[in-house]
Amino acid sequence: MSDVFRALADESRRALLDGLNRANGQTLRELCAGLAMTRQSVSKHLAVLEEAGLVTTVRRGREKLHYLNAAPISDIAERWISRYDRRRVDALADLKQALEGTPMSRPEFVYTTYVRTTPEQLWKGLTDPAFTRQYWGTAFETDWRPGSPMTWRLDRNDTAIAHPDQVVLEAEPFTRLSYSWHTFTDEWAKAYDIDAEYVAKVAAEPRSKVTFELEPKGEHVRLTVIHDGFGEDSAVLPGVSEGWPELLASLKSLLETGSALKTA
């Protein structure tokens, strides 16, 4: 947590975060434009921000895209703001809100967190119903082989969501997992009491996909979640962008403490 405070203490690094807050998913060249800093200085500041977990990066061909990451701010808010509730820390609360409410200039969601566990255990947390039911309320019925179908079985009303296009895309145990997002079926809508107008809107969108990247970091595993494949002005993207941080925090709690977070 001290790395986060050190990173935020520098005005230039805060300017870079402001730039990403205005337009997420920028290249180094795009971030340098309009800043009174050399490319080398920007690279050094980005390295500090990435080390602190405030920025995460994703490769797209030859490009390296930089994204704001709200996880460290959420940790600060949970430890300090919620515990002491002092007005003097309102600035941190505002920053947390700004990061988590970042407008998506690119139609995708990127989030990185560190979990004190092993890649093997984190893999189980992402795939094993014994874990996923605890923090997600969902079990995935599949053999986790690329191309295999997936049935999402929700604990809510024992609802099954199945479709030929719901498949495993990639599965490299303990390293990388990717699958297509669930279909917005009538059963799903009924389970969550979703109105027909919204269902019709999201069902008409392109099918998105989610990818999990696992990387050992000492006693922790760096987990990066990339949810993409959305169309422009997607109605699905804001929902998953709001849901993933809470879901991943609950997964982290389950693996580190044995108890998932209670949600409303």
CA–CA dist 57, 37 (Å, integer): 20
The owner of tokens 């027909």 is: 196
Domain 2-105 fold: Arc Repressor Mutant, subunit A (1.10.10)
pLDDT at 175: 98
Cα–Cα distances (Å) from 251 to 40, 116, 216, in that order, read: 37, 11, 17
CA–CA dist 210, 212 (Å, integer): 7
pLDDT at 244: 92
User: Which has more pLDDT, 67 or 106?
Assistant: 67
CA–CA dist 228, 65 (Å, integer): 14
Domain boundaries, the chain: 2-105, 111-257
Considering the chain, what is the average pLDDT of its residues?
86
pLDDT at 79: 57
Mean pLDDT on 4-30:
86
List, in sequence order, every beta strand (DSSP E) within the chain: 55-60, 63-68, 109-115, 138-141, 151-154, 159-161, 168-172, 176-180, 209-217, 220-228
Asked whether residue 63 carries a pLDDT value surpassing 60, the answer given is yes
Asked whether residue 153 carries a pLDDT value surpassing 80, the answer given is yes
Q: Kindly indicate the confidence band of residue 218, based on its pLDDT and cuts at 50, 70 and 90.
A: very high
Query: What φ, ψ does residue 73 adopt, rounded to 5°?
Result: -65, -40
CA–CA dist 170, 180 (Å, integer): 10
Q: Kindly indicate the confidence band of residue 181, based on its pLDDT and cuts at 50, 70 and 90.
A: very high
Asked whether residue 118 carries a pLDDT value surpassing 90, the answer given is yes
Q: Which of 13-17, 112-116, 142-146 has the lowest mean pLDDT?
A: 13-17
Mean pLDDT on 114-141:
97
Mean pLDDT on 231-240:
91
Mean pLDDT on 68-74:
76
What's 111-257's CATH class? alpha beta
Q: Kindly indicate the confidence band of residue 4, based on its pLDDT and cuts at 50, 70 and 90.
A: confident
Q: What is the pLDDT of residues 22-42, one digit of tens each?
A: 888 888 888 888 787 888 888
**pLDDT > 90: percent of the chain:** 56
Asked whether residue 250 carries a pLDDT value surpassing 60, the answer given is yes
The one-letter amino acid code at 241 reads S
